[in-house]
Structure 1
Amino acid sequence: MIENVRTSNVQRFAGFGALYDQNRPTAPQEVVKLITTYLQHKPQTVVDVGCGTGLSTFIWLDEAKQIIGVEPNDDMRSVAISKWESIHKPDNMRFVKRLSHELELPSASADVITCSQSFHWMEPQSTLREFARVLRPGGIFAAYDCDWPPALDWKIEEQYKRLLALGDARALELAPPEQQAHKWDKEGHLQQIRDSGLFRYAREIVFHNWETCDAERYASLAFSQGGLQTALKLGAAELQAEFSAFREQVAEAFGGEEREILFGYRLRMGVV
């Protein structure tokens, strides 16, 4: 059962790596500052698990001696590798194909393990056991996520949520039971860390980040959501019309100008 879930969760993100990378937010520098504040020194090794296209990996490039991006989805990882190649292949960074509960890294070898927008796709307890094994004493695990949709306009946000709900519902209807992805509740991340008994301290930190955005990117943020993309891949062509209507509403709200949008973040961390 759990192996089918892992396979479905990995495959959920196949086929839209470029769309994801072009529109999703880059992890803010506050993540680095927060984690290194608790670590109390510059990390030697950072492991970014479920790193996708590297949006959460490259922020560590000048902040750690070694950075390992772990991503099991080939499409997502290929985008990350292409970006790594475009900056002349820094030798302190690499990307590998592995699963969260089987990192294949030495015990007590990492200072920091992060999961950006990804921990809810991992079976939590086997993953946390592996993370605790790989972390050095005093090392930090941090799972952080942004809230959807980003803050802009209540009418647009309502339509954003409606579009995502339609995508999730159609994906559930069209996917065979053995191919359906499973998402663990993000609100349960902190309790999972505590319940594991593997971390001596755990807490949640809330912060935010403003970004400049145009109408096309805001609409594409919704289009890059996994449920909508899964439903489209499974044949829910009617969602294209729903998205086109949403894009028009967003364009009208932006009025041809760029706007500041706010991403709210929630970081749940544990110290081993």
Structure 2
Amino acid sequence: MTKDMTEMWSKDFVPEGNRASNVDRFTGFEDTYDQHRPEAPQEVVALLTGYLERKPSVVVDLGCGTGLSSFAWKDAADQVIGVEPNDDMRGKAVAKLQTLEQEARSSGADIADIKFVSGYSNQLALPDQSADIITCSQSFHWMDPASTLKEVSRVLRDEGIFAVYDCDWPPSLTWRVEQAYHGLIERAEAIIDDHVEPQEQAYKGNKNEHLKHIRESGLFRFSKEIVFHHMEPFTADRYTGLAVSQGGIQTVFKLKPTELNDNIAQFHALVEEHFQGRTLPVMLSYRMRLGIK
């Protein structure tokens, strides 16, 4: 990376098409996020490797957060590059990588060359046609779609794959729990509206328009949507923790630390009533939109 590139991604620099508020939304709760959010399921690796028809040499993970979506490729790619503008989230990913590398050295295991870098989706410090697969896990809706897709096309090799995948929130459980989950999120957003001017709030795009953006870009020869499901073990604490890890609730914690305490306690009581101290399999539903250059 040249000196100019290093200066480009200084802490205070936000490239055109990005919002500092979108990055700041994820500051300060990297541990909660990493503890409760799901790792990228192996179905993602299997699907994308199948479409590529070979082992990827380079996978780039945009908006990688704490690396939950990057480490899925540790045994399935030669090199993995996680790109994340938030220092706290990226710092957690780097710490996890150090532990993984120590474990690999101790056991003699081979893993991909993994690194995490600061950067934005529409200004990547990567050469033209250098990546086989570029992914956005739970992140594309925070990015400017047009400029991001243009940059993705530049970096992808011919017949390379761009894949956006998101998990439906909340995970399927009971209608009462899910209704309460939505109510908790709506309450958090109402508090934010009361205390933060609209122009200073984080902006979230419509996930239902991801495939439309890919197709209308004209940059991909083939595109489609894939829906799949993945089962994971949950406890009441994890289900509640997943709700609390949502950015809106964490934003309220920064603004009005105790404002949601009663709402969260009521939600957790409802969740505990369902789990009754048990660990239960819970279905996570995913929607992947992909484009092949």
Q: CA deviation at 1:104?
A: 1.0
Aligned to 1:86: 99
In the alignment, residue 231 of structure 1 is paired with which amino acid?
V
Q: 2:192 aligns with which of 155, 158, 171?
A: 171
**Between the two proteins, what is the percent identity of the paired residues?**
52
> Which residue pairs with 2:245 in the alignment?
224
Cα drift, residue 177 of structure 1? 3.0
Q: Where does residue 196 of structure 1 map in the other structure?
A: 217
User: Comparing 227-236 with 261-270, which one deviates more in the overlay?
Assistant: 227-236
Paired with 1:33 and 1:91, the residues of 2 have a C-alpha distance of 16
Aligned partner (choices 64, 71, 82) of residue 58 of structure 1: 71
In the alignment, what sits opposite 2:46? Answer: 33
Question: SS of the counterpart of 2:101?
Answer: coil
Tell me, yes or no, if structure 1 residue 77 matches structure 2 residue 99.
no
2:225 matched to 1:212?
no
RMSD of the TM alignment (CA)?
Answer: 1.5
Partner of 1:149: 170
1:259 and 2:280 matched: yes
- Residue 106 (structure 2) aligns with: none
Pair 99,4 (structure 1): closer, same or farther in 2 beyond 3 Å? closer
> Is 1:161 aligned with 2:174?
no
Deviates more, 1:168-177 or 1:253-262: 168-177
- Contact 2:17 / 2:147 at 8 angstroms: preserved in 1? no
Q: What is the alpha-carbon distance in structure 1 between the residues aligned to residue 17 and residue 71 of structure 2? A: 31
User: Shift in Å at residue 260 of structure 1?
Assistant: 1.1
Tell me which of 100, 103, 113 is aligned to 2:124.
Answer: 103
Alignment of 1:92-131 (within 5 A): 92-131=113-152
Q: What is the Cα deviation at residue 91 of structure 1? A: 6.8
8 A Cα contact 2:74 2:112, kept in partner: no
Partner SS state of residue 151, structure 2: helix
The alpha carbon displacement at 1:3 in A equals 4.7
* Alpha carbons 1:48, 1:70 under 8 Å: kept: yes
Give the aligned residue type for 1:68: I
Q: CA deviation at 1:48?
A: 0.3
Distance 1:4 1:122, change over 3 A: closer
Gaps spanning 5+ residues in structure 2: where?
1-13, 103-110
Partner SS state of residue 284, structure 2: strand
Structure 1 consecutive aligned stretches of length 4 or more whose deviation exceeds 4 Å = 1-5
**CA shift at 1:169, angstroms?**
1.9
